[in-house]
Structures are given as C-alpha cells and as structure tokens.
Structure 1
Amino acid sequence: MSDSEANAYGDLLAFWAPFLLLRLGGPDTVTAVALEDNELWGRHLLNLLFQVGTASYVFYQSFPNSKLIVPTILLFIGGTIKYIERTCALYFASFSKFCRSLLPPADAGENYAEIMKQHEAIGNMEATLETPYRIAHYGAEKGKILDDRTVIKEAFFYFARFKGILVDLIFSYDLEDDSYVFFSGRTAKDALRIIEAELNFFYDVLYTKAAIVHRPTGYLLRAISSGSIVAAFACFYVLDKHGFHEYDIQITYTLLLGAVSLEFVALGLLICSDWTIAKIGTSEELSQFKGSIFVKFFLMVKSENSPFALHMICARWSRSLFQYNLIEFQLRKWPKWIEKLIDPEMKILKILISLGKWLRIEKILISLGEWLQDLKSERVKPYSEKLGELIFNELKRKASFQEERKQISSARGKWALEHTKTGQDCQNLLPFVRDVDYGESLLLWHIATELCYNKNKSRNNQCESSKVLSDYMLHLMIKEPDLMSAGVWIGQMRLLIRDTCAELDRFLSQYIFNESKTNKTEKYVCEELLSVPTTWTPADVKRDRSKSVLFDACILARELETFHENKWEIVSEVWVELLARAAINCRPHVHAQQLRKGGELITLVWMLMVHLGLSKQFQIARGHVNAHAN
C-alpha cells in the first residue's frame, strides 16, 4: 500500500468513527425497552463522553491534512447530537427526574395571617376572601362525534394534566369534575379513542425521544443534526476520491445512504406524529395551520386505514384480547408423553431440567414447556365496540354516584349485585363475591360463566361480552400476574387453580374420556358438570382438604339460571366490576410497563376510571385554587 493510499485509508477510518455515535443515538421510536432502562441514563452519559472522546481522538490523528475534514466534522456534530438526545430522553424519563418535573412549585396558599387581620378590621369574612377564578375545560360539545384532530388535541390536553398519575401524584377535585363532565358527555367509542391516544403520549414520554424532540431546542437540534448528515453526504459526493480504494468508497456510500435514509424516515415520523398535530391544535401561534391541507394530509396518513401509519400500529393498542379458558385448556389433551414432559409436577420434567442445568440449557427447556402450554391454551379475540360500550356505560353509571366513587372503585362484584340495572334481588349471589377472596371469586365466576354460556342457545351482546371478559381476566390471572397482584395473593391463586384443574381432570377422566362418544366438546362437558347433584356444598363434603371451586361454580351457575333473560345483564355487570377492581388497584408503573408490549384493555380501563373520578388520587379539597397536577 502506497503512502497516499495509507493516508486515504486513515482519513476514511476517521470519517467512519462518527457513524458509531449515530448508531448509539438510536432511532426516535425506541430509547428504552423497559422502564428500568431509563434508570441507566448515567451509564449512557458516561458512554457518550467516552465515545465522543474516542471519535475526537481518531479525528485528531488525521487533522489537519485529511481530505475528509469537512464531512467528518459534519457527521461528528450530527452523531453527537443524536446520542445527546437519547441520553437526555433516558434522563428525563427516569423516575426521580420525571417525578421532580411534575411537582408543582411550593404553594403556601392564601395569606392566612393577613386575611384574618383584614377580617378583624372589616368584620366581613366574605368580603375579605376573593372567589378564585378557575378555568374549566369542557372541550367539544356534549354528544358530538369527534374527528381525529380533536381526539388528538383532547388526548394531549388530558395527558399534560394527568401524567402525574405515573408517579402517584394527587389531583384536585376541580380537575376530577372537569374530567368527569368531559368524558361522561362522550360516546364510548370517542372516549376510548381519546384514552388510546393519551396512552400513546405516555408511551412516547417513557420509551421514545418524543418529549425531547418536540420542544423548541429539540426542533433546533434536530434541524442541525439532520442538516449535518445530509451535508456530509453531499460533501463526500462532490469530493475528489482519487487515492481511495473502490471497495472503501462503496462501504462509505452504503453507510451514508443508510444514515440519510434513516434521517428522512425519522423526519417523516416527527412531522406526522401526534405531538405535531397536538401542538398545532393547542398553539395560538400555529392556529393558522389548524384547518390547513397540511394538517388534513397528516391526519389522512395517520388514519387506521392508511398503509403508511405503521408507527401508529406499533405504538397504539393492538385491540386484541388474549383468552384463557380453564375447561377448554383441560379438555385439549396432548399425547400422554407430551403431557408428562411439560407438566411441572411430573418427575420427568424435573429430571430434564436438572440435566439441562448441567448442560446449561435449563431455561430453553422451561421456555419450551411454557410454549407448548401456550399453544394449547392461548386464543386471541378482537376487541369489539360492543364490549367497549358495555365497559364505558357501566363505569359511567358507577361514576354518577358522586359521593360513593371511592368505595365503588374498590368494589369487586358486591356493588354490581346490589345495584343491578334490572333491579333484581341478587341476595343469593352475594356469597359468591362477599364471602370469598377476589381471586377465588374470579375463578368461580369464570367457570360459572362458561357453564351458562354453553347451556344457552341464544346469545346476546352481554353474553358474548361476558364470555370475552371472563376468559381475558383468567388470562391476566395466569399469564400476567403482575397486573393482578394488588388484588390477588399469587401463591393462593396457584393453589386454587391447581386443585380446581385436578378435580376437573378427574371428572373428565371418569365421565368424559372413558366414554365412547366422539363429540366431547366444551358444551357437552358443561352439561355433564351441571348434571351433578349439589344437594350438599363441596365444603360440607371435602372440609378444607382441597381448594377446588369447580362444583361451587356449578352451584353459582344454577343460581344464575334462575334469573332467566336478565342473567347476562347481571353477569356482565359483575365482570366489569371485577375488571375495574383489578385495573384501579394495579400500580401505575405496572400499567406503564404494559405500554411497551402494545398495551392491555385493563390499562385503558384504568385510565378511563381515573378520568371518570373512580380513583383514590383525587384528594385535594374542593375550592383549592391551584390543582397539584395542573
């Protein structure tokens, strides 16, 4: 290699160094994979300083004789800014900083000493006190169907005021009243559309660079970094490349084209994001753009039917509900050798795991067993607007009892049975929610719902929605225990499920699998279960030997059948209350963690309950001038 070729290669090495900064800066759509990643901002800051120092040293070695000095400086500026953006995004999303950023300034309230002195002098307390002026936000006209732009604008408005919920801040009753009036006046579809968009803002703050980029300094830095990268490409393109190896030139063009392409994609996502639409909708300076073709085009691109709205599909809720049905799970039998292989209680699995530890593949074996179990048990149901209407209307009905909201938010079926829409006397159903733990109640109602569902010939909307909620809640109980941990003791729940499955297995072996009939469907199993006499309760027969609730659920199903056509109205109300109890008692950071997986229905229900006032986080006395979350 000649001296000129060696120098040219050294210049290229210096030019390639800033590409590492671009890669470490990452895309705008992902800065953290989990909430814990935000707490590692200090490590990223240290890495930023180290990488910038390394790139600077490599660049210094080729200075000042490098032919690529200008594009190298430009690329270095762009890469450094990108990595600074990511580090700042992680820092501002970390729990301590996020919490501090939401705390209001210290507020001593009205000057009590001065007011009391004036009162003594004037003698009229009402004249002394000034009535505080509060701006209420009631948004769009009640009952009006909202367009996409209004949905995003309202979602951003409530996101800005309720984002403190992620760190358990307390809100004012004034904010509760405003939020309740707005959401109770919406249709179920529009209310849930707003909450979906609002949760998307939460996702962006916690897991992306959006909160950093969508501010004046962020726009300026993004313009500088993007312009620097494009200018670096242009400089290299017009540069005399005499002395450079052809293969090295091709590699450099590939790196530059990749960097420029990613910048244009990021720019497109930035312009078409919800944040841009929201800021245009709420900014007085940008009010002239509100009804422009510019905004209409972005809304068209962002619509659900647009093939270009890929980022929306990735960030927003998938509108899918995982289903787990206990009877169906036990009825679908693998071949015996597979059952023995994946059953955690069988010795064969323990032996394989012990062998796997020696071979260091025990995690693979455990994951394989869980995967096989999931193949047998998991189903997915699409979210339906009928289900959304049921949940919204029932929660709105509960929120209308203003003085009882806090008690209602913690109810787990009892309130629903005592306040049915049909006015039925449900005293005979109360023991199945009042005298049992939440987890046991959920399992009881799950099996009873399945029994009634398979017995019914005609199925209405409440019936189908109850079935979907029943299977969804059991999925959360078994597959997402963190979302249910606030209301359920996980160890006890595992005993309940294990003993119930054992009793169901014994029943299937004795009365189903040993028969010559080929039509062994869930409907047939449910009919056979309901045919078992239940003159005595299972507790009278078994004492406390088993935790199984299989035949207690059969008794509950028989009680439900006495309500005839009103049965599914009652069942659906109980399931909404069981779902609401789990949603509002789950810690906010657990809901936030679900956003990275695409979100869950239970998280939407949690946010809806907060907006309707069914939360314990509204505790600042009415009349307080400055709401803590405003």
Structure 2
Amino acid sequence: MVYIIPRKFKKFYDTWNVQTFILFSLSLQTILILCAPSRKRTGNVIVIWLIWSAYLLADWAANFAVGLISNRQDDPSGKAGVPEDRYDILAFWAPFLLLHLGGPDTITAFALEDNALWLRHFVGLATQVAAAFIVFGQSLPVNKLWVPTVLLFIAGTIKYGERTRALYLANLNKFRDSMLKPPDPGPNYAKLMEEYASKKEAKLPTHIEMIGEPNKESKAELFAEEVTKLEDAVEAVGHAYRFFNIFKGLIVDLIFSFRERHDSRLFFQKINSEGAFEVIAVELNFIYEVLYTKVVVVHSILGFVVRFISWSVVVAALLTFYSIDKKGFHKIDVRITYTLLFGAIGLDTIALFMLIFSDWTVASVKKYMDISFIRHIANYYLSFKTINWPPQAHQQSPQTPESINCLEWVRRILFRRWSEYLYTLDFIEYSLKERPKTTSLNVCDYLWCVLICVIETFGLKDFYDRMRYVSKKPCTKELWKFIFEQLKEKSKLADDPETAKRICAARGDWILQDSNWNSDSTNLMSYVVDVDYDQSLMLWHIATELCDTMDDNKNSQPVNNPDGSREISKTLSDYMLYLLVMQPTMMSAVAGIGQIRFRDSCAEAKKFFSGRDLKGGGPKETSKTQEQTQEPMEARKAQEQARKTPEHKEACRRLLDINTDVPPVAVKGDRSKSVLFDACILAKELRKLPNRWELMSQVWVELLSYAAGHCRANTHAAQLSKGGELITFVWLLMAHLGIGEQFQINEGHARAKLIVGK
C-alpha cells in the first residue's frame, strides 16, 4: 500500500503532537504579549497581519491541543503512543491551555468587532473549563499530580474570566451604558405651573424669575489659570487622564455639558501646541487600552488581588511539581512542563512590569508624584514615550535612517504611543506610473502586465497600490502647530452653538469668506461651496500638486511662503488623498463617490499622459555642490523637489498649458466624474495670487477638520489599533476646543423662582 504521508512522519506526529502544539501555543502567547503593543505604533500592513495571524492561531492552537489530550486519554491501550504513566502529566497540561486561552494583557480584541463577541467567549469559557475538567477527571483517582493541576485550574479560570470580562466591558453597547447618567426629568415643571396658575386666578401679581446655575465658569477659569504651561510629562498624563474620563463618551456619540466644554476649551486655549499634542496622545492611548487590552479589568483593587492570586497559585504549582517524585515520567515531558510553568510565571511577570510602567499607574498614584525622586523616575520613563519631533527645516536636514541613534530606535519600537507618521498619495505620480507604455515592450514588461492582471483577479489591487504608491512622512512640529493655531483661533469665535456648528461644517468657505481673502478669492468659492466634499478634495489636491511643481520653475513669479505654508499644503493634500482612496472607512461619511472620481480622473490623466512625450522639458536638478551652498531651508526644498522626476514636472506643465476657456462639463458632459481639467482651472486661478500658499494651507486645514468632525467616532477608535492617524488627533482636539455638535452648551438646569408681588 502506498501512503501519501510516510509512516515515520505519521508515527512521529502521533507521538509528539501534543507536546508540539502546547509549546506552539506558549510561543504564540509570548509573541502576542511582546508584539501586540506594536500595532498601535505602526501602520505597516505586514506587521499588523502577523499580529492578526498570531491572535487567531493562539486560540486555535490551545483548543486543538485540548482536543489532542482528550483523544490520547480515549486510547487506554496505548496505541496512540502514550504509555499509561504519562496520562497524569497530560492532564496537568490541560489547565495550561486555559491560561493560554485567557490571552496576554496586551491584547484581548484585535478589532472593535471582537468585543461584540464577548458572549461567545463566555460560552467558550464554560466549555473549555468543562473539557479540561473532563480530561482531569479521566486521570483520577491515581493522578499524583492532582494538587498542581487543581492550582492551575484556578489560575486558568481566572485568566479566561479576565479576558471575557474585558471584552464585555469594551463592547460599545456596554461601554455606552456604563457612562449613562441616571435619567434626569429636570425641575418639577407641572408643580410650578400649578402654583403659577393658582396665583394668577387669585389676581395676584405673579411672575417667574429664572436663576441660572451659579459659578458656572469660576472653577474652570481658576483651573485654566493654573495650567498655562505643562511642567513635565507626569502633569500631561494627569490632565490626559482627567479629560479621558470626561470625553471617553465621544467614542459612543454621547453629548456633553457646557461645564465640560468650558473647562476643556479654556485649558487647550491656554497651553501651547506641543503640550496639547502630548495630552491628546496620552488620552488616545487610554482609549486604545480600554478597548483592546485588559487594563480596565486588571487596573483596579479587585484586579490586583485576583492577579496576585493567579500568580501565586502558578508559583505554588511549580513548587508542588518540583517536590513530587517524577519517576515514570518521560524526561522530555518533565522539561516541557517546567517550560510551561516558568513560561506562565514569566508572562505574568512581564505583564506586571508593563502594568507598573504604564500611563495608568502614573495617573492612579498622582498623590505620590509630589515626591521628587518618584516624579523624576516617572518623567524619565515617560520621556521615552514622548514624541521626538523631526528637526525643523531651518535647523538641520531631515532625519534619515542613518542619522537616528540606537536609543531613538528603541523608543520607536517599544515606547511610542502611535506611529508618528502620515501616509501620503500623489495623484500625478500615481497616474504617470499607471499609464500604459507606448514604447515597445520587452519580456519583463509583459511579465509585469501578467502580474498586474493576476493581482487584479485576486482583488489585491488596493494592497498593491498601497505598497507601491503610498509613502510616509514624519509628523512635524510645524505641521501640528499650524493646525493647532488655526483651530484655536476658530475656537475663540465659537462662543455659541450655532457658530460652533458652522465652523465644524466649514470646508474651505470659512477661510475664503474671511476679510483678508474675500477680495482675492471670489473665483475660488465655487470650488468649495458648489461641489461635493470629495470633489472639492480632488480639485484642491490636483491644483496643489500643479502649483507646487510649477513654483519650482525658475521663470515662475515669486510667491510668499510664510511659516512653511507650501510644505504644509503639500503634506495635507497628499495625506487627505490617501485617506480618501486608501482609507475609505474613515471617509465614508463624507467621501460620496470619491472612489469613482479618483478612478475617472486617473483614467483621463493616463489617457492624456500616454499620448505625449514627457521625457524632456523639466528643470535641471540641483547638484550637490550647489545644494551645499544653499541655506538649510533651501537645501531641504531642493531635496524634496529632487524626488520629482523631469517627467513629473513636464506632465504638470503640459496640463497647465491646455486651453481651459470652456469648462470641461460643457464639452464632455457629466457622465465622467473626472475633475482633472477643472483642477487645472483652479490651479490657474491660484497661481494668480502671490500669497496663495498661505490661503491654500488654511483651506486644507478646514478640509481636514471637516473630515475629522464628520468621521464616525468608532472608526477613529478602530484606527488606534492600526498605528493611529493625524485626523484622529484633529478630531479629539476639535472636541476639546468646543468645535463640534457634541455639546449642549446652552444653560443647564435653571432654578425657577415664583415671585408674588411687584
């Protein structure tokens, strides 16, 4: 008989399958506890996919191993390769798998949807405990390892129960219910009006006088005066924890009172941009850990007690196993058991250190932070989590991988709270690389075309585009400061609900209506008011790219670029296109038919570029000798523009050379949703303004804040587990500055007083 699987491999599998899978399960737990926090620090698809794979395999491996152990016990003749004296140790391994099913503290849910499956995990808790108990019961009454087995049953049940409870508490429905206040019927209106009517019937002069809530601003103003500047990282964590407890309801679309708005608004209007960024970064980290880890379950008095019990019984099981006579057990099985015991203790110890050195601990023991020694240690540790802003353009050249020291790499891998990068997509570059080639094709070109067809057939085109066309830029201090200052100035105007809603709904028109721009930008208003949001974004993105490229031409008119407005505009432009095309879930509330517009615009651009020779005509790139003689700011610009090929520059020039006296819709109709040549008209209008970059940068901040304010809150929360996004920081900053629709900022409960007499 011919066997598909060789007999020796089958015999090896039958003998060692349990040992292999239980060690595999332990390895997956180690990978998860060490690597799961990395997903909040990177948007790399491969890293996130590896963590996702380990997350899924961890439960599967533990369940499968329990089944293998049970199958071994159903074979008392030993045909499965298990001598009867090894059944005791197999039964001892079953509760280890309960520990593994409980999972590490660093990840309970991979996505928000996993929290909704808490009931399934609860049923799994009951069935797995029952399965492990049956395995243990079959080894009785002669099991000489029954004492350490029972101890591990206690630890395993606790661990699995912690995970189930963490999923239950992080479920968005339960999360919302936990923050709802008791029903509030308000003052007794009926009783007051009865008294008012009776007085009127008695012909007594009566009126109602409304008395507002006293001192509604005094505490907030006093607090704001005390925090004009954050002293250190410990203080930032304290404020972030306070605002987290107030604003965590944003995740489930709760509303807030005027007191909470006033307090937050005053605080963020007083501090500088760096302090605001640090507070928001810590606050978002709190949100991430509440939704995706065991922190809520563990970080409490009951949680500490239960965790201590769990750790103690595992240590007790180790000591008990060490003291038992192991005669009759296979040496390899004994070594595997020690590996499992020390692995369980080691994982719990790592989790304990992560718990101690966390933002939660710093916020919880705030009263001890007045001790200088403790505060110094806490600040030193928190300094590793604080963002190291890239060097400013006027100070030195941008960071390169070679210029980053070892300590900075350690910080980025182990400590940072989010990815600290923006992902960008350039429409012109994408269209140029995707256009069909007009020259003769060689063998490699044909193979490449076949590969693209295969990729599209299997639905991997989006993944391929992300890997090839999406680049990333560090989030710079200048960019964040500009966004912060723009939103803070608008916040000062948002004193009433109507104004706050108007500012939140603005997507370029607020800036264009400003007195500083109104006279110069009349022709631009239609590109933000008379078009959909996705259309406006595409128009301004292509126009920004055309202006940016053509402004490098030596023959172009000089243009004002205050505070790096040009670099800010280009970065936000590419970032917003990335969100529209590559992150459709984040833009789903405002995207409209953005995907269709992008595809149609790309098709028209590829058609336009494929029929023209774009090899020449671009300005020569700056040589290294010339670059060294330039000022640092100019050198940085030269480095940025060196990435644009002569073909790219020529393509932009050819687009602007097209006669656009007649609007494209009058010639082509409206079947195609391409905005390519409409964007060329916009670019020509912008190029007439000497201060265009200052205007464009402010328009892009409005486009960004509009998308941030209209993105669903749970989508912001979901993105925290994928490296985070700048748009989420903007969303939370807008809420703290009182810009949005989450506030009931009219008067709260007023006290009505019935006045009888004149």
Per the TM superposition, whether the score is higher than 0.5 is yes
Distance 1:129 1:602, change over 3 A: closer
CA distance in 1 between partners of 2:447 and 2:116 (Å): 42
| Aligned with residue 459 of structure 2, among 357, 360, 366 | 366
Letter in 2 for 1:552: D
Letter in 2 for 1:88: R
Letter in 2 for 1:83: Y
Cα contact 1:93–1:206 (8 A) shared by 2: yes
Cα contact 2:535–2:594 (8 A) shared by 1: yes
State the match for 1:597 in structure 2.
722
The answer to whether 1:443 aligns with 2:538 is: yes
State the match for 2:150 in structure 1.
73
State the match for 1:390 in structure 2.
482
| Aligned with residue 288 of structure 1, among 356, 368, 382 | 368
Letter in 2 for 1:511: R
| Aligned with residue 297 of structure 1, among 374, 377, 384 | 377
Cα-to-partner distance string for 1:501-541 (whole Å, 9 max, x where unaligned): 12211221233347698963322222222222322222233
| Aligned with residue 467 of structure 1, among 566, 570, 593 | 570
CA distance in 2 between partners of 1:546 and 1:327 (Å): 19
CA distance in 2 between partners of 1:122 and 1:271 (Å): 67
State the match for 2:528 in structure 1.
433
CA distance in 1 between partners of 2:146 and 2:412 (Å): 37
| Aligned with residue 292 of structure 2, among 207, 218, 239 | 207
Where 1:160 maps in the other structure, the secondary structure is helix
Q: How many residues align?
A: 600
1:116 Cα deviation (Å)?
6.2
1:469 Cα deviation (Å)?
0.5
> What's the Cα RMSD here?
3.1
* Match runs of 1:522-601 below 5 Å: 522-564=648-690, 566-601=691-726
Q: What are structure 1's unaligned runs of at least 5 residues?
A: 282-286, 354-364
State the match for 2:468 in structure 1.
376
State the match for 1:229 in structure 2.
314
Cα contact 2:212–2:749 (8 A) shared by 1: no
| Aligned with residue 585 of structure 2, among 462, 482, 491 | 482
Letter in 1 for 2:166: A
State the match for 1:357 in structure 2.
none
Letter in 2 for 1:405: A
Cα contact 1:134–1:625 (8 A) shared by 2: no
| Aligned with residue 27 of structure 1, among 98, 104, 116 | 104
Distance 1:69 1:315, change over 3 A: farther
Cα contact 1:463–1:568 (8 A) shared by 2: yes
Cα contact 2:148–2:321 (8 A) shared by 1: yes
TM-score of the pair, normalised by structure 2 = 0.73
Cα contact 2:212–2:750 (8 A) shared by 1: no
State the match for 1:360 in structure 2.
none
Cα contact 2:587–2:711 (8 A) shared by 1: yes
Q: Judge which range, 314-323 or 549-558, deviates more.
A: 314-323
Letter in 2 for 1:72: T
CA distance in 2 between partners of 1:157 and 1:309 (Å): 29
| Aligned with residue 47 of structure 1, among 109, 121, 124 | 124
The answer to whether 1:162 aligns with 2:216 is: no
State the match for 2:181 in structure 1.
104
Cα contact 2:170–2:290 (8 A) shared by 1: yes
CA distance in 2 between partners of 1:30 and 1:242 (Å): 39
CA distance in 2 between partners of 1:98 and 1:7 (Å): 50
Letter in 2 for 1:473: M
Where 2:275 maps in the other structure, the secondary structure is helix
State the match for 2:417 in structure 1.
316
Cα-to-partner distance string for 1:386-413 (whole Å, 9 max, x where unaligned): 1101111111111111231111101111
1:201 Cα deviation (Å)?
0.9
Cα-to-partner distance string for 1:163-214 (whole Å, 9 max, x where unaligned): 1111111111221111111111111111111111111111111111111111
CA distance in 1 between partners of 2:571 and 2:374 (Å): 41
Cα contact 1:302–1:309 (8 A) shared by 2: no
CA distance in 1 between partners of 2:568 and 2:724 (Å): 20
| Aligned with residue 341 of structure 2, among 237, 256, 266 | 256
Give the number of the structure whose alpha-carbon radius of gyration is greater: 2
| Aligned with residue 82 of structure 1, among 159, 164, 175 | 159
State the match for 2:746 in structure 1.
621
1:422 Cα deviation (Å)?
6.2
Cα contact 2:232–2:379 (8 A) shared by 1: no
Cα-to-partner distance string for 1:306-334 (whole Å, 9 max, x where unaligned): 67977985772201111110101122258
CA distance in 2 between partners of 1:214 and 1:182 (Å): 28
Distance 1:199 1:140, change over 3 A: farther
State the match for 2:403 in structure 1.
none
Q: What are structure 2's unaligned runs of at least 5 residues?
A: 1-75, 386-406, 438-443, 553-558, 621-644, 752-758
TM-score of the pair, normalised by structure 1 = 0.87
Distance 1:313 1:383, change over 3 A: farther
Where 2:607 maps in the other structure, the secondary structure is helix
Cα-to-partner distance string for 1:428-475 (whole Å, 9 max, x where unaligned): 111111111111110000011001111224865111011010001001
CA distance in 2 between partners of 1:102 and 1:524 (Å): 58
Cα-to-partner distance string for 1:485-506 (whole Å, 9 max, x where unaligned): 11121xx323322222122112
CA distance in 2 between partners of 1:128 and 1:504 (Å): 64
CA distance in 2 between partners of 1:266 and 1:149 (Å): 22
Distance 1:331 1:95, change over 3 A: same
Where 1:381 maps in the other structure, the secondary structure is strand
Cα contact 1:41–1:91 (8 A) shared by 2: yes
Cα-to-partner distance string for 1:348-392 (whole Å, 9 max, x where unaligned): 569x83xxxxxxxxxxx322x444333431111111011101111
State the match for 1:337 in structure 2.
446
1:265 Cα deviation (Å)?
0.5
Where 1:615 maps in the other structure, the secondary structure is coil
Letter in 1 for 2:354: L
Cα contact 1:314–1:598 (8 A) shared by 2: no
1:44 Cα deviation (Å)?
0.7
CA distance in 1 between partners of 2:211 and 2:512 (Å): 50
Cα contact 1:118–1:128 (8 A) shared by 2: no
State the match for 1:56 in structure 2.
133
The answer to whether 1:93 aligns with 2:170 is: yes
| Aligned with residue 37 of structure 1, among 114, 122, 127 | 114
Distance 1:339 1:430, change over 3 A: farther
State the match for 2:259 in structure 1.
174
Cα contact 1:158–1:198 (8 A) shared by 2: yes
CA distance in 2 between partners of 1:127 and 1:216 (Å): 45
Q: Judge which range, 13-22 or 524-533, deviates more.
A: 524-533
Where 2:229 maps in the other structure, the secondary structure is coil
Distance 1:84 1:186, change over 3 A: same
Where 2:740 maps in the other structure, the secondary structure is coil
CA distance in 2 between partners of 1:230 and 1:37 (Å): 32
CA distance in 2 between partners of 1:582 and 1:342 (Å): 36
Where 1:105 maps in the other structure, the secondary structure is coil
The answer to whether 1:406 aligns with 2:501 is: yes
State the match for 1:220 in structure 2.
305
Letter in 2 for 1:208: T
Cα contact 2:118–2:167 (8 A) shared by 1: yes
Cα contact 1:416–1:573 (8 A) shared by 2: yes
State the match for 1:361 in structure 2.
none
Q: What percent of counterpart residues are identical? A: 44
Where 2:701 maps in the other structure, the secondary structure is helix
